[in-house]
């Protein structure tokens, strides 16, 4: 594990809202950063998939897209 010391300037209103909830604790900040990273990765994969779908000939019908989305969701649910 790496130890970093950061100085962050935040609006007083934000600090007053998150501090009582413990969101500035190192474990909570770590979890928030991990969640943000997962969201960034998901967005990247979404655009990669959209680009790949756009190159298909002939284009997929809405029904075919729906089936593909459902298949991916089943795979993800199975991995979780």
Question: Which tokens belong to 25?
Answer: 């604790």
pLDDT at residue 21 tops 80: yes
Percent of the chain predicted with pLDDT > 70: 99
In terms of average pLDDT, the best of 5-14, 46-55, 56-65 is 5-14
> Measured between alpha carbons, how far is 15 from 11 in angstroms, rounded to an integer?
6
pTM: 0.62
> Measured between alpha carbons, how far is 75 from 71 in angstroms, rounded to an integer?
6
């Amino acid at each position: 594990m790496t130890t970093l010391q950061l100085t962050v300037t935040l609006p007083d209103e934000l600090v007053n809202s998150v501090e009582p909830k413990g969101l500035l604790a190192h474990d909570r900040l770590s979890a928030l950063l991990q969640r943000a990273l997962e969201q960034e990765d998901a967005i990247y994969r979404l655009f990669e998939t959209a680009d790949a779908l756009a190159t298909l000939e002939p284009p997929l019908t809405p029904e075919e897209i729906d089936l593909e989305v459902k298949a991916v969701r089943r795979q993800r649910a199975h991995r979780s």
